[in-house]
Amino acid sequence: MANSADLLKELRIDRSAPPPPSRRGLWIALAAAVSVVLLAVLAWRLLSRGEAPVVRTADVAAIGNNAGSSASVLDATGYVVARRMATVSAKITGKVREVLIEEGQQVDAGQVMATLDPIDADAQRDLAASQLGAARSQIAGVEARLREAEANAARLASLSRQQLVSQAQRDQAVAERDALRAQLATAQRNAQVAGAQLRIAEQGVDNTVVRAPFAGVVVAKAAQPGEIVSPLSAGGGFTRTGIGTVVDMDSLEVEVDVGEAFIGRVKPGMPVEATLNAYPDWKIPAEVIAIIPTADRGKATVKVRIALKQRDPRIVPDMGVNVSFLERAAPAAAQTPPRGVRVPAAAIVEREGKDVAFAMDGEDRVELREIEVGRALGDDRQVVSGLSAGDRVVLSPPAGLEDGGEVSPTQDTVSNE
């Protein structure tokens, strides 16, 4: 019986004993540890991405036929100048009566631009005409007297042979005839002088009319009616020296200053591509006319004249121009399809003595590629191998960037077409 009672006591639940340990806390602790690990990994990735260098990228483009055949060997800046430009003035000093031009007006050669007051010139012409008329009248009087003297000399010569008049009378008639002949020659010379003076006076009247020396466009109007103009710079600010300035737009060309160190690259007849600062997307074909055989000591430059092969009203004097001196195109038989791709020069760096470029491999990692560099193409370079058209390369890669490194590319990808 005692054993049975002991067995029953063992089966009884002891309410005062502490409860067994629970596994819920263990699971909560495990979940917290996993969360901490995940947060640490995420924070590490965010921090490591924030430390990635910010870089600019550019697209690699294929080389076209034009790019392969006309590479730029030198770039320079200059201005559009007019080879034929004249400040038109009167040949005489006078008061302006009428000005018939305005800025921007097209004028033809010989077209009247202005007129001066012709009062003095008209008076000189009238005086010269009167003097010519008087000289001609004098000729007529001398001719009449000469005819009478010749007839008298002939009559006395006949009478002298018949010994009806003395020899002295005959000699006197001959002398009078010869004197009148001399007077006639003098009168004729005087008439010629008077005619020349009349022509000079008429030229003086014509000088009161100012005409365009050649066809062109008026770019400046310098005088107004009532002002005094003179071909000489006299009279201070009260005297004008010109009526206006005319420019022959067909004579426009470009003048650039090339550094002495690079003038050897420029040759007469060399093809040039000109770009106006006002129209940067407009490429104008041009050609080197001549290299001026003198240097500027102060700037160490040599002036080069360039002819524009295209005429357009948008090209005006004194415009700024950027020019690229190009290589001569190879003959058609010698031309070969261009090789490689066009890459910005800023994307090519040297690592361990080799030319390399960093191409984007995915969104934020780069791949170091060894490349073979060809000729210069302006601000770009020809890459024969190592890159393909469509690749994106890093511009000016940081010195510490390595193969597989992370970068943070900006949104403004440079187009290299």
Instruction: Print pLDDT tens along the chain (417 aa).
Output: 556 666 556 655 555 555 555 556 666 777 777 777 777 656 555 555 546 678 888 888 877 554 444 667 889 999 999 999 999 988 888 899 999 999 999 999 999 999 999 998 889 899 989 988 888 888 888 888 888 888 887 887 777 777 777 778 877 878 888 888 888 888 889 888 988 999 998 998 998 999 999 999 999 998 899 888 888 765 455 667 889 999 999 999 999 999 999 999 899 999 999 999 999 889 999 999 999 999 999 999 999 999 999 889 899 999 999 999 988 765 554 455 567 888 888 888 888 888 888 888 876 788 888 888 888 876 788 888 888 888 888 888 888 788 878 887 776 656 555
Cα atoms in the Cβ-side hemisphere of radius 13 Å centred on 36 = 6
For residue 217, give both structure tokens.
Answer: 């466009």
Give the whole-angstrom CA distance, residue 146 versus residue 140.
10
228, exposed or middle or buried, with CB in 10 Å at 0-12, 13-18, 19+?
A: middle
Cα separation, 131 vs 134, whole angstroms: 5
In angstroms, the CA 335 to CA 126 distance is 76
Return the biggest CA–CA distance within the chain.
226
| Element of type H or E holding 280 | none
Indicate the helix (H) or strand (E) that contains 412: none
Cα separation, 258 vs 296, whole angstroms: 10
User: From CA 172, how far away is CA 294, in angstroms rounded?
Assistant: 79
What's the token pair of residue 376? Answer: 């210069």
Q: SS3 of 169, please?
A: helix
Per the structure block, which two tokens stand in for 9? 């006591």
Task: Single out the residue of 153, 175, 177, 176 nearest to residue 165, CA to CA.
Answer: 153
| Residue 333: per-residue pLDDT | 45
Per-residue pLDDT, 335:
52
